[in-house]
Structure 1
Amino acid sequence: MRRLSRFGMSQEFEKRLRPFMDTERFVLPEAVDFVLERLNSRGFEAYVVGGSVRDHLMGRVPSDYDVTTNARPHQMKDVFSDCRVVETGLQHGTLTVVLRGMNIEVTTYRVDGAYDDGRHPNEVTFTASLEEDLCRRDFNVNAIAYSPRDGFVDPFDGRGDILRQRIACVGDPVKRFSEDALRILRAVRFSSALGFSIDKDTADAVNEMYSSLSLISRERIYQELTKLILGQSAREVMEGFSHVIAYAMNPSGSFLTSEDVRKAAGFMEGTSAYAEMRYAMIFGIGKDEETSRAAAKEVYGSLKPSRKSMNDVMAFIESRFADTSDEYTLKKLMGRYGEAFPEDLILFRRTVGFIDESEYIKEKEAYRILKEMKPCVTVGELAVNGGDASAAGLKGAEIGRALSALLDGVMRGEFHNEREILLRKLAEFR
């Protein structure tokens, strides 16, 4: 059965979270309080909603706050006419109030229309009902509203799901996923990030409908996948939903299989929370370098990561068989990929079993000592430069070859990085 079941409510978990269910414990930032109070003072309802409420109930500090209200867009603009406001999505009832260093999204209660593209509603209809607005949200844990005046509004027992450590769709999962296919991957991502199970009906719908993820932009898939593989329960989720993750990453199946995801899952707990290292494990375990490189370029590249992220993944794949016990190799890695990279690579190699724990400790300490010595690892750090090579009578490509040879000799310890020594060496290239 492709459903996670090892999670569950424990007395310890419930005891820890119960105090956060008390409305008196929910202290909002002043800027958020101001937005709620300003709307209330003008006769409108206003609640914080979604992830900020969920995070508070889990004992976490929310990173941002969304507000929902029965005020219509033109009314919201009037209410906050003396504030800095950004019309981030006014046609969908959303504007952003910028206040005291915070961006607070304020959205009119709404009901979504039909979804023809599996991602966005064709139209939205504003409503006066908070509960109707909460009905359109993805999961019960994200469909809780709160205001200092009214306390928690929780028509779908999202607080109960938090205590049960469960992800369940609001209402019919098939309908929720038909509206927005990204919710399929979000269910799996929240399971990983929060350490929650996915309830049976929701998990069944995930397994039945995951091919709809092909409707979603690669950028959005990438955002969810990255949060997923960095989650506290990444291993369990990647094992339980490997088929969903493999399809999300590579719908054609030509470069990546669910078995690749399952193999990588076993190593998630041993790595740092470094997304590129974890992605490299998905592409690099059990494959030769050529196959791994091709898979990473095709699949990871299709997700449209930043150039740096792509380069970091390729660095792990290209270097995973490097001898990290060798000083010269470490210097070459420092010069090619940056000073910090060898330490990450040593951890990568220990995690996937290329070196054991004692070797890991020894290599990590040896690298620490090497780094403190600040060795010369790039041409730019040599005590001579292209001008010196030119003055020595070298031309064109000869200059680059000579400087590279000098760098190699310095890194191998054949001679010191001292100007007089290197000038004599340059003369030998004529």
Structure 2
Amino acid sequence: MLREPDVPALEHALDGAGVLREAGARDTIGGVLPQFVVRPGSVAAVAAVVREAARQDLVTVPRGGGTALGWGAPPERVDLVLDTTGLDRLIEHEAGDLVVVAQAGLSVSELTDRVGTADQELVLDLPPDRVAAGSTIGGALSVGYTGPRRLQRLALRDRVLGTTVVLADGTVARSGGKVVKNVAGYDLAKLMTGAYGTLGVVVQAAFRLHPVRPGRAVVTRNGTMVDVAAAARAVVASQLAPAAVELDRGAGRDEATLAVLFEGIQDAVQGRARAAATLVGGEIEDELPEWWAGVPAGAVTAKATATLTGVGSLLAAARDAEQVGGVGVAVRGSAMGALLVGIEAPDPATAAATVARLRAASPTPADGTVTVLAAPADVRAGLDVWGPVPGLDLMRSIKARLDPGRRLSPGRFVGGI
């Protein structure tokens, strides 16, 4: 049941540091239409608005650039969308220490440009179309996205030094590096990454940067799915130290493509690329393939994990699903086993059966998982989008501790959290 917001009280909480407006059709989240959108311009304003929303028992859903709003489950209800793009400052860039501190609403493209002047980068590798559309630092944290170069640079959650978060009652909490006040017992920087805004509103974060490497080379190889998966394992197991090892298998294809990225000093990069080309029987290219870091097309988008040896089984399961169900299944991502899957199916039942077939390629969660990130409502209604989730009771207890009133993005995360 929707609450009727006390608009003057919300505007008073802003105290002139932001704007409040009625929501429109473009503000829907997973098909759920909010009543109002608020865009605070300071951390204090965010805290005051969240505190007032809690007093009124309103449900608040944070939103950054909105480029990944279709990922995650639809919220149970939305009274207030909290637009973080008013928090768009780069607070600090300590180039000598390879550290940057930025507000959550700063766009990834602007952060990239700013730290790039010092030949440094925050390795995100987001889909290029999302970067161009205004993806924000807070949004990337919220969905926990990390692209191809996680092989050497690790996942985004491993490069977060600290976060500043507004909790469900309006408390401003800090955790990790560059902090003044900590929340005892919780690593908020890790908890907030990939939580879809269900535990708090990230308003600021500190990250470890990397120097931009001057040289780059790419080795590609096309072949059967079995051959490409084996070539990928060989590169990963070698001493060649690739920056990324990516696979792409388009819907309906019997073949797949391997792309291996090398970065570093140019002479050394070329030498390693030649060795890799010999190892896998591939070609050296000057540019990354056009599909690099993109999300495969499909009405259903899923995230699949697998062991290094299980990637081949996942690719085979995709082909089997197509032959049995008359669907299209595209697979793209890391040979280390973090991939995105695009599914195009004629009806919801076939889509659900396809997800089940992909999950069957991994007998246990330790062998791999398949999580549906985005799907039409009728498809969602007919399947378990999350699949088996180890530690669900612990996740629920953390939600109950940080947001006992379920006022932040309820239902967006696993298990209805």
Q: TM-score, normalised by structure 2?
A: 0.25
Larger relative CO (CA 8 A, sep 6+): 1 or 2? 2
Q: When you count helix as a share of all residues, which structure comes out higher?
A: 1
**Greater CA radius of gyration, 1 or 2?**
1
More strand by share: 2
TM-score with structure 1 setting the length? 0.24
